[in-house]
């Protein structure tokens, strides 16, 4: 090959590389930050809603039974973790109870046997669920649609079976009882004070997911959700991005599961049951898929409704929540928060 031909080939390679980099930059700049699309919410409205959310979080245990407030916070973390996959990556997981439950057991065991302060025990539980998510996610992200959902469900059932049979560690059907709430000598036996001690962890988990979906990484996830073939053609390693989102989702779900174990001071096999995963999906759909705020609203609605029905002595709680879920899907197709956000975007 002559020097002229070599120069032409080199120039062509540089041009292709520049073009690819430009396409990637354009994709990052134009990719939507949320599935709903539309006009961006004005900054003043965003800050107003954020301030209102902070105010509600601070006064929640004052107006509700503190245990219910703790449950709302824990389920909000779990639902946001599911929404990260479902709403921003396009992956429907029916097995996230494996990470929620694994973190709950790991947190409970760490608090009981090692006497760790509950924030460290919760963090350890979240890391344990993340480690579990590595092999599960590595195999699951290679599938799409219902196949991905079935793979995650199968692994979750395996974890449930192991926990049920490993009675020397998990205590089987009896569960872990009297999980302590240690925090450097502070008395957190009162649910009211524990709520405020756990609130920074909840806020940190929610901020982590929010920051992720509003970063270039999150925009690539949305691009993969919308058109994985095109994202792959642009040079993005689709499976690696999906796996990273899966691990982050498992970590966030683990934070919620660990706080749930400490809040109730008890861990049972129910935290690993497939219905726990189904409840998280219902909360996400009820609040609004791909909204982040929607799962928080859905968590408050479902948890408060279940508490009210239980207090009223109604036994068929699932019947009522299922009917309300069906009506919400039919009337508010974008979910409660999703419908409100869409209405705000359409206002002049």
Give the model confidence (pLDDT) of 81-106 as tens digits.
999 999 999 999 999 999 999 999 99
* Domain at 184, CATH number: 1.10.3470
**Helix, coil or strand: residue 66:** helix
Among 3-17, 142-156, 299-313, the least confident range:
3-17
45 domain residue, yes or no: yes
17 pLDDT higher than 60: no
Give the model confidence (pLDDT) of 40-71 as tens digits.
556 776 788 788 888 999 999 988 899 999 99
Among 38-47, 147-156, 255-264, the least confident range:
38-47
Residue 57 contacts by C-beta under 8 Å, 6 or more apart in sequence?
73, 199, 203
Q: What is the pLDDT of residue 313?
A: 77
Give the model confidence (pLDDT) of 99-151 as tens digits.
999 999 999 999 999 989 999 999 999 999 999 999 999 999 999 889 999 99
d(C-alpha 87, C-alpha 273), whole Å: 23
Copy the structure tokens of residue 317. Answer: 């709680």
Number of domains in the chain: 1
99 domain residue, yes or no: yes
216 domain residue, yes or no: yes
- Nearest in space to 84 (alpha carbons), one of 199, 179, 264, 224: 224
In Å, how far are 226, 300, 346 from 37, measured between CA atoms? 12, 25, 11
129 domain residue, yes or no: yes
Domain that holds residue 177: 39-346
Most confident among 142-146, 252-256, 287-291 (mean pLDDT):
252-256
Q: What is the pLDDT of residue 1?
A: 43
């Amino acid at each position: 090959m002559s020097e002229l031909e070599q120069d032409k080939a080199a120039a062509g390679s540089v041009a292709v590389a520049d073009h690819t980099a430009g396409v990637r930059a354009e994709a990052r700049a134009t990719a939507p930050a949320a599935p709903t699309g539309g006009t961006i919410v004005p900054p003043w409205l965003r800050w107003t809603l954020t301030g209102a959310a902070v105010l509600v979080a601070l006064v929640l245990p004052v107006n509700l039974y503190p245990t219910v407030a703790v449950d709302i916070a824990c389920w909000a973390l779990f639902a946001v973790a599911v929404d990260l996959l479902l709403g921003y990556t396009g992956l429907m997981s029916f097995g996230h109870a494996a990470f929620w439950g694994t973190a709950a057991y790991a947190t409970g065991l760490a608090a009981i046997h090692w006497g760790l302060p509950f924030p460290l025990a919760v963090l350890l539980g979240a890391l344990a669920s993340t480690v579990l998510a590595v092999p599960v996610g590595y195999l699951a992200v290679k599938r799409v649609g219902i196949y991905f959902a079935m793979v995650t469900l199968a692994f979750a059932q395996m974890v449930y079976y192991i926990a049920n049979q490993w009675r020397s560690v998990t205590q089987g059907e009896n569960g872990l009882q009297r999980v302590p709430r240690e925090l450097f000598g502070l008395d957190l036996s009162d649910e009211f004070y524990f709520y405020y001690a756990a609130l920074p962890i909840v806020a940190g988990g929610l901020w982590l997911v929010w920051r992720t979906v509003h970063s270039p990484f999150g925009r690539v996830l949305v691009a993969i959700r919308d058109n994985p073939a095109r994202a792959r053609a642009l040079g993005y390693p689709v499976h690696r991005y999906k796996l990273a989102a899966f691990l982050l989702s498992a970590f966030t779900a683990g934070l919620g599961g660990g706080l749930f174990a400490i809040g109730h001071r008890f861990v049972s096999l129910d935290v690993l049951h497939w219905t726990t995963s189904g409840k998280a999906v219902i909360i996400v759909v009820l609040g609004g898929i791909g909204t982040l705020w929607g799962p928080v609203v859905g968590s408050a609605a479902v948890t408060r409704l279940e508490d009210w029905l239980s207090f009223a002595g109604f036994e068929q709680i699932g019947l009522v929540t299922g009917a309300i879920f069906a009506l919400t899907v039919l009337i508010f197709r974008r979910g409660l928060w999703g419908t409100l956000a869409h209405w705000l975007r359409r206002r002049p």
